[in-house]
């Protein structure tokens, strides 16, 4: 039993339920029927094919990646498989559009895998092939992120410029009408800027100093 769970239960003065205990999930590219039988691992009707559970008290499941169905929910697992299973999964990932949220999530998970593989001294041929096939996807995803960031920056800069321009208009109108902008007039600038220019401009031209302060303070 994990020490952290036991400590939490002791603090809260509660019992640890069997359902609260964590399970061990073993991921393997392949597993023979003999191996699964040796561990007493069996499938369950309410789980996907390729997932086998050991006897209950062991709280362990084996995920045989080569037996997983080729659906989007298993894509990132199949990419860390071997041989044709991995190749098909990468083909599926490449076919997703750049703005597909599942593609982004899968690439984020795979980026961590790539970092681990890059520092491994004894990479096998399949590891090197995986890195080569994923590299263009990372580059494409990075370029899109840069473009989106530049677009957001442009929009933010444009909005900031508009806001600064509106503030300058308000300040200039106040100066023209009332001369120096004292603390009382300074206090009405922000509330005025909450209005669109077509609304605050007539008010600045028509209302008296007292009326503006009374209305916006």
32, part of any domain: yes
Domain-located, residue 119: no
Last residue of a domain, one of 21, 36, 69: 69
Residue 155 confidence (pLDDT) = 59
Residue tagged 């509106």 (tokens): 166
**Is 39 a domain residue?**
yes
- Domain boundary among the residues 69, 86, 111 is at 69
Is 63 among the domain residues? yes
The whole-angstrom separation of Cα 39 and Cα 117 is 29
DSSP code at position 66: G
Distance (Å, rounded) from C-alpha 130 to C-alpha 115? 12
Do the domain assignments include residue 116? no
Of 39, 69, 99, the domain-final residue: 69
Q: How many whole angstroms separate alpha carbon 58 and alpha carbon 142?
A: 43
Asked, for residue 88, whether it belongs to a domain, the answer is no
Q: Determine the structural domain holding residue 44 and report its residue range.
A: 1-69
- Structure tokens given for 168: 């300058």
Confidence at 94, pLDDT banded by 50, 70, 90 = confident
Q: What Å distances lie between residue 75 and 17, 55, 71, 169, CA to CA?
A: 33, 28, 6, 56
**Each residue's pLDDT tens digit, 185-207:** 889 998 888 887 778 777 877 78
Least confident of 1-10, 44-53, 106-115, 204-213: 1-10
The two three-digit tokens of residue 207, written as one number: 């209302």
CA gap 107, 117 in Å, rounded: 15
Highest mean pLDDT among 2-11, 17-26, 69-78: 69-78
Residue 102 lies in a domain: no
In this structure, the strands spanning 51-53 and 24-28 are unpaired
Q: For residue 68, what pLDDT is reported? A: 93
97 located within any domain: no
Distance CA 192, CA 187 (A): 9
Dihedral angle over CA of 72, 77, 79, 82, nearest 10: -130
Angle at 120 between CA 27 and CA 61, to 5 degrees: 10
* Domain tally, the chain: 2
Q: Is the model more confident about 181 or about 15?
A: 181
Least confident of 70-79, 88-97, 123-132, 203-212: 123-132
């Amino acid at each position: 039993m994990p020490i952290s769970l036991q400590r939490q239960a002791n603090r809260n003065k509660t019992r640890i339920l069997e359902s609260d205990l964590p399970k061990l999930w073993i991921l393997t590219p392949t597993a023979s029927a003999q191996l699964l039988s040796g561990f007493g691992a069996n499938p369950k009707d309410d789980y996907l094919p390729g997932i086998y559970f050991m006897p209950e008290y062991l709280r362990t499941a084996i995920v045989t990646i080569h037996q997983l169905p080729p659906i989007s929910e298993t894509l990132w697992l199949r990419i860390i498989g071997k041989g044709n299973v991995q190749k098909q999964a990468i083909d599926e990932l490449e076919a997703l559009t750049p703005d597909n949220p599942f593609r982004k999530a899968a690439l984020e998970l795979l980026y961590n895998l790539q970092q681990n593989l890059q520092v491994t001294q004894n990479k096998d041929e399949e590891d090197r092939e995986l890195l080569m096939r994923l590299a263009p996807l990372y580059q494409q995803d990075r370029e899109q992120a840069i473009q989106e960031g530049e677009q957001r920056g442009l929009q933010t800069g444009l909005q900031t410029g508009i806001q600064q321009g509106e503030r300058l208009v308000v300040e200039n109108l106040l100066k023209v009408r009332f001369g120096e902008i004292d603390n009382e007039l300074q206090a009405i600038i922000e509330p005025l800027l909450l209005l669109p220019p077509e609304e605050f401009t007539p008010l600045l031209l028509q209302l008296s100093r007292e009326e503006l302060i009374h209305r916006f303070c």
